[in-house]
Amino acid sequence: MDVLMRRDLIIDWVETAAQEIKTQMSNDLEVESKSNRKDLVTKLDKATETFFRKQINHYFPGEGILGEEGMGETVENLTGPVWIIDPIDGTANFVLQHNHFAIMIAFYEDGLGQIGVIYDVMADELFVGIKGQGVTWNGHTWQPPFTDKPLDQGLLAVNGSLLMANRWQVQELIDQAMGLRIYGSAGLEFLAVAKGELLAYISPNLKPWDIAAGAVICEELGIKLSQFDGSAIDYLAANPIILAYPKSHQKIRHHYDSNK
């Protein structure tokens, strides 16, 4: 099946899932903690991932699926077709704000991103990136309105734990930007960079499903994505990431190398 047919199916699944999430959102979410008090999961994270897995298994039996709420089902390698899913990104926002969360689905082949979809559910903003074919916003061709400005002329997002620990003097770097923003959803932070609202996003510990969809969208727009040390993302591990327009990426990389 060609890439546009896959894209259309993904959009259909995402819209169905978002409608269900909105309908159920005011009911008991059955919130549980995972690794720590702040690491939450709800019954809608699980149900949404299960829904996507069922659709993929129906239309594309045998293709690999890597998802945050995998419940034991995962992939060992990225050979061939692999779906990478974050059913609700920004679960703490979802639980505590009923807002500012995203659904993310990506399709990779032999480790290379082919399709990335991020849906900001409450804002009704759907971004789709297809490798070599650009990015759309709610069906319209998308290009960020701002050019590659230096870091001191724009805003920066940094993960809260990295900021508080001030690892590699990150507070000094933040001080060079026009201001700091913290969204609490990696997906929405990737989208803010794709929109040109942020020049950069830095996060120390993102999983493959936090990165996969946004990587396709942002790389299609010429935005740079790497680990802190400049190496490529490992889609089978946790990654410290710098996502930024080229000038800011270079600035952040240099600051990291000088202070790590």
By CB under 6 A, residue 130 contacts ligand 2AM = no
Contact criterion met (CB below 8 Å) for 110 and 9: no
Binding of residue 210 to ligand 2AM (CB under 6 A): yes
Q: How far apart are CA 141 and CA 112, in angstroms?
A: 22
Q: Which residue's C-beta sits nearest to ligand 2AM?
A: 186
43: part of which helix (H) or strand (E)? helix 43-59
Going by the annotation, the residues of the binding site for Mg(2+) are 68, 86, 88-89, 210
Contact characters 71-90, Ca ion, x per CB under 5 A: ---------------x-xx-
Q: Stretches 14-22, 70-78, 82-90, 116-124: which one binds ligand 2AM (CB under 6 A)?
A: 82-90
Write out the two tokens for 65: 């699926």
CB 121 within 8 A of CB 205: no
User: Which listed range, 16-24, 51-59, 77-85, 86-94, lies at the site for ligand 2AM (CB under 6 A)?
Assistant: 86-94
Interaction between residue 48 and ligand 2AM (CB under 6 A): no
Q: Is 120 in the site for Ca ion (CB under 5 A)?
A: no
User: Within positions 166 to 205, which residues make up the interface with ligand 2AM, using CB under 6 A?
Assistant: 184-186
Nearest to 258 by CA among 162, 198, 250: 250
Q: Where are the extended beta strands (E) located within 121-237? A: 125-130, 134-137, 140-141, 155-158, 179-181, 200-206, 224-227
Q: Which of 48, 55, 136, 159 binds ligand 2AM (CB under 6 A)?
A: 159
Interface pick for ligand 2AM out of 39, 175, 229, 234 (rule CB under 6 A): 39
Q: How far is CA 31 from CA 105, 127, 188, 232, in A?
A: 23, 28, 22, 35
Measured between alpha carbons, how far is 95 from 76 in angstroms, rounded to an integer?
Answer: 31
Q: Classify 128 as helix, strand or coil.
A: strand
Pairing of strands 40-41, 64-67: unpaired
Binding-site members are 68, 86, 88-89, 210
Q: Which does 185 bind (CB under 5 to 8 A by kind): ligand 2AM, Ca ion, none?
A: ligand 2AM
Residues near Ca ion (CB under 5 A):
68, 86, 88-89, 91, 210
Residues near ligand 2AM (CB under 6 A):
35, 38-39, 68, 86, 89-91, 159, 184-186, 206-207, 210
